[in-house]
Structure 1
Amino acid sequence: MTKEKLHTVIRLPSYHCQYNAIELIWAQVKGHATRHNTTPSFTANKIFNLLNNACEHVTSNDWKKVVDKTRRIITEDWQRDVRFDYLCDQELIINLEDCFSDSVSDDDDCDLR
């Protein structure tokens, strides 16, 4: 169905708030409802109406901003992970002969802490 509409489904890690734009929109909705929930009584109907009103204030521009932000975070994390993988693939050689001998003095350049 998504291919017919020329959309692509991207699988994201479950519950990863930074990779799921809906989490940022939900935070916006909750913040709007909280700011407008200023008088008692706090009934379920009142909260429902506040949330409905908050949802009506979410614009396509809000969605564009959070999708762009999410895309940027995913790209930055991907690039970081690729750089890290590249470093992990490199051969690591640690030369211990210069630092460890039978007589290590305080004047040695090695930091043994």
Structure 2
Amino acid sequence: MEDFDYLAPESNAAWLEGRGDGRFEQYEQFYRHERARLAEGFDLRAINEGYRDWASHQPSRLLSMLSAPWFGRVAVVILCLYMGSRLIPVVAKLQPVTTGGLLVAAFVGLRVFHWRRRKRRT
């Protein structure tokens, strides 16, 4: 009977080969850092126990991604685009001239904002 466990990306065999969800890379980075730090008194068993403690205190990748500043910005942009795509056609049917004026003002305001921001950087 053959063992096909290595084919599953979440298996221990895949983890040891460096494939899967990134746990191996995380362990390898921790291992190299600790080996460089404790060159004289290196103890693999102590390192592995230290990794267990270190990994249990790390936040999950999903929570890290959700709390990242770029994720909030992307979520706000997507929400604004969605709400704008739903709201603008309805308002444009009721008051087309006002809607057109507001859209032109918004686009000009965005250009001025980006122009001033670019000017401050240089």
Specify the TM-score bucket, using the shorter chain as the normaliser. under 0.3
What TM-score do the two structures reach when normalised by structure 1? 0.27
Report the TM-score, using the length of structure 2 for normalisation: 0.26
Question: Which protein has greater RCO, CA pairs closer than 8 Å, 6+ apart?
Answer: 1
User: Which protein is richer in helix relative to its size?
Assistant: 2
